[in-house]
Amino acid sequence: MIIGLDVGGTHTDVVLLGEKGIERRVKVPTEKSSLFDAVFEGLEQITRDIPSDKISHAVLSTTLTTNAIVQGKLPPAGMMVTCGPGMDPEYFRTGEHYYVVDGAIDHSGREIKKLDEKAVKKAAAAMKDAGIEYAGIAGKFSVRNPAHEIRIREILSPMFEKIFTGHRVSGNFSFPRRIATTYLNASVYRVHKEFFGAVQKTLDKKGIGVPIYILKADGGTMDFETSIDFPAQSILSGPAASVMGSIAFAPAEAETVVLDIGGTTTDMAVLINGVPVLAPQGIEIEEYKTLIRALHTQSVGVGGDSTVRVDQGHLFIGPERSGPAMAYGGPQPTPTDALFVLGMAENGDKEKARTGVQAIADQLGLSAEDTAERIFDQACREILDYAQELVSLINSRPVYTVREALEGHRIKPTHLLVLGGPAPQFAQRLKTISDYSVSRVPQWDVANAIGTALSRTTCELTLFADTYKLEVSAPEEMFHQALKPGFSLEEARKMAEELLVKKAIREGAHKQPIETDVLEELSFNMIRDFRMIGKNMRVKMQVRPGLIQEYLQIAEKIKNGEN
C-alpha cells in the first residue's frame, strides 16, 4: 500500500492506496501556523491499525517552501558569484548577503581569470559575522568547468552548515536563472530540513520505517534523502499534485484545462492529449526566475472560501481568505456560503451562510438568493477568465509538454476537468456558462493526494562532451571522464542514458524499465585556423513524469467507480 499526502491551503488530504483502490482516506484542517500538526494528524489517522510492513512507501506534496517564498519568510542565505566579462552580476542580486568575487571560466570551460581566494575568505567572514548558516555559489560557466565553485565550497565548508553549488542544482545554461535557483535552494533548506526531520520522527515513533518521497514541481518524485540536497525542487509541488491527480481521467484525444478549485485558490494547468504542458525554462515565483523544471501551472485567488465583499457597489471575490465559510464557523461570506443559500451544499450551518450572504445582498439591493446566484456565477466566470489568460500565456511562447516540443502549436482547449472540494457544483455551472465540455475527476475531493501517491520518480541530466579536449562531463552528477578519439553523438546519448538511469534508481525509482526521453541533442563543429579540430556535444535527457505502472490499475478502479 502507498500513502499519498497533499498539504493544501484549507485541508490536508491523505489517502492509503492498495489493491482494492482507496483503502482509507482522511481530511484534516490545515492551519498556516501549524502545518506540521496537519501532516502529523493525517499520518496518524491514515496509518492507525495498519501493519507497517503493509505500506511500501509514502509520497508527500507540501506547500511549506512555496509559502515561505510567497510570504517573504525565507531564512537569510548568502550568495557568492563569479562571473567574468560581458555581464554585471549585480543585476541578479538576490539579497543583502550577495558577494561578487573575481575569477572567470569561459564558455569552453577554460579558466581565463584566477579565483581571488582572499576575496572569497573576506566575503565568507562577512556572511559568518552576519549569522548566515546557508550559502549558495554560482559561476557563469560552471556547468562547463565547476573548478571555481568547488574551490569556493572547500573554503566555505568549515564555516557554514550547508552549501549549494550552481553546477549541481542545474546543468542548464542561463546564468541569472542558475543564481536564483542556487539561492532558493539555500534559502528554503532550513524549512525543508525541519519538515523532513519532523515527518521522519513521526513515522519512526509509529514504527513505520518506509521510504518517503517528495512530489516535485515537474510532477515526479524524489526520495526524502535526495530532497535535502535539492529542497527547492519541492516548490509548487501543490499545483503539480493537481495535475498528477487528473491525468488518468483526462480525455485521451483533447486539449484540456485542469481546474483544482480549493478553499484558498484555484490551481490551473493544461493537458494536451492527457500529457501536461511544461514550463519551458523553469519556475517563476515572486521575483525569482529559476531553472527548476516544472509543469506549467497557475494559482489564482478564487476558491470556495475566498472572501466576498462589496466596494463602491461592485462585488469582489478574493484573493483574500479570512477563514472557512460562515457555514463552517468562518467570519466572512464566501462562495461556499452562496452554495448553501442555493441549496447546493449541506453538512454546514445554512442559517449562518444566509446571514453572511444577506449582508452582501443588503449592499447590492438584491435578495439573498439573487446575491448567491451572482456570487457563484461571478466566481465561475472569473475562473474561466483566468483559464483563458493561462492559455494565452502558454501560446505566447513555444509550447512544450513533458514529452516533446510542439513547434508552432497553439493550444485550443475544448474540455474542462474539475477537481477539488466543490468540484460537482462548479463543474455543473461551468458547463452551463461556457462552450467547454466539462467533467469532474472521480474522488475529486482527494484527487491531489491520489495523484501524489501514484507519481513516479523523475530526474534529468545534462552531458557535455568535447572531442578536442577528449573529455566528457555531467556536472550535476559530478561525473568527469577522459574520452578516446572518435567519440560520437550516439555514444554520448548512450552514456547520458546510463548515467540518468543510475541517478533515477539512486533517487528512488523502481528498478523496472525506466522511460527516458532526449530533451536536447546538439553537436557543434569547433573550428580553429579554418579547420575543424573537434566537436562540442550536449545531450539533455529526462525520466518522464507519469504514474507508477504497477499501480495504474488503482486509477482504473477509481475511474470505474469501484470505490
pLDDT of residue 173: 83
The 3-state DSSP class for residue 75 equals: coil
Give the residue with greater pLDDT, 258 vs 108.
258
Beta carbons of 425 and 344 less than 8 angstroms apart: yes
Alpha carbons 270 and 258: distance in angstroms, whole number: 6
Alpha carbons 306 and 320: distance in angstroms, whole number: 6
Question: Residues 33-45, buried b or exposed e (16+ Cβ, 10 A)?
Answer: eebeebbbbbbee
Is 159's pLDDT higher than 60?
Answer: yes
The 3-state DSSP class for residue 70 equals: helix
Neighbours of 253 (CB within 10 A): 7
The predicted-structure confidence for 394-443, as pLDDT tens digits, reads as follows: 888 777 666 666 667 788 999 999 998 899 999 999 999 999 999 999 88
pLDDT of residue 404: 61
The 3-state DSSP class for residue 549 equals: helix
pLDDT of residue 440: 92
Chain CA centroid to CA 208, Å? 27
pLDDT of residue 257: 95
pLDDT of residue 34: 67
Give the residue with greater pLDDT, 44 vs 176.
176
What φ, ψ does residue 92 adopt, rounded to 5°?
A: -115, 25
Amino acid identity, residue 354?
R
Weakest mean pLDDT among 40-44, 332-336, 339-343, 420-424: 40-44
Q: Would residue 420 be called left, alpha or beta, if left means φ above 0 and alpha means ψ between -120 and 50 degrees?
A: left
Which has the closest alpha carbon to 220: 145, 132, 295?
295
SS (H, E, C) 192-260: HHHHHHHHHHHHHHCCCCCCEEEECCCCCEEEHHHHCCCHHHHCCHHHHHHHHCCHHHCCCCCEEEEEE
Alpha carbons 310 and 361: distance in angstroms, whole number: 9
Amino acid identity, residue 6?
D
Partners of residue 317 on adjacent β-strands: 308
Peptide bond into 335 cis (omega under 30): no
pLDDT of residue 171: 81
Beta carbons of 17 and 1 less than 8 angstroms apart: yes
pLDDT of residue 40: 81
Going by C-beta distance under 8 Å and a sequence separation of 6 or more, which residues neighbour residue 534?
A: 466, 467, 468, 469, 525, 526
The 3-state DSSP class for residue 282 equals: coil
- Mean pLDDT across the stretch 134-148? 93
DSSP label of 275: E
Q: Please, what are the domains in the chain?
A: 2-71+191-239 (3.30.420.40), 78-187 (3.40.50), 251-440 (3.30.420.40), 459-543 (no CATH)
Grid cell for residue 17: 492506496
pLDDT of residue 177: 94
Is 376's pLDDT higher than 60?
Answer: yes
Percentage, residues of the chain above pLDDT 70: 95
- Mean pLDDT across the stretch 460-467? 92
The predicted-structure confidence for 245-276, as pLDDT tens digits, reads as follows: 898 888 888 899 999 998 888 989 999 888 88
Exposure of 195 by Cβ count < 10 A (0-12 exposed, 13-18 middle, 19+ buried)?
buried
pLDDT of residue 530: 82
Exposure of 254 by Cβ count < 10 A (0-12 exposed, 13-18 middle, 19+ buried)?
middle
Question: Residues 394-433, buried b or exposed e (16+ Cβ, 10 A)?
Answer: beeeebbbbbeeeeebebebebbbbbbbbbebbbebbbee
pLDDT of residue 86: 80
Alpha carbons 259 and 386: distance in angstroms, whole number: 10
Neighbours of 439 (CB within 10 A): 17
DSSP line for 434-452? SSSEEEE-TTTTSHHHHHH
Alpha-carbon radius of gyration of the chain: 25
pTM of the model: 0.85
- Mean pLDDT across the stretch 195-224? 84
Is 496's pLDDT higher than 80?
Answer: yes
Weakest mean pLDDT among 61-65, 90-94, 257-261: 61-65
- Segments in 319-446 forming alpha helices (H): 335-341, 350-364, 368-395, 423-433
Percentage, residues of the chain above pLDDT 90: 50
DSSP label of 455: B
Mean pLDDT value across the chain: 88
pLDDT of residue 32: 63
Beta carbons of 529 and 429 less than 8 angstroms apart: no
Host H or E run for residue 520: strand 516-528
What band does 552 get if pLDDT is binned at 50, 70 and 90? low
Give the residue with greater pLDDT, 27 vs 406.
27
Amino acid identity, residue 73?
K
- Mean pLDDT across the stretch 53-58? 87
Alpha carbons 560 and 316: distance in angstroms, whole number: 39
Beta carbons of 169 and 110 less than 8 angstroms apart: no
Grid cell for residue 252: 485521451
Is 118's pLDDT higher than 60?
Answer: yes
Chain CA centroid to CA 368, Å? 40
pLDDT of residue 41: 84
Is 116's pLDDT higher than 70?
Answer: yes
pLDDT of residue 511: 67
Alpha carbons 218 and 239: distance in angstroms, whole number: 10
Is 129's pLDDT higher than 90?
Answer: yes
What band does 178 get if pLDDT is binned at 50, 70 and 90? very high
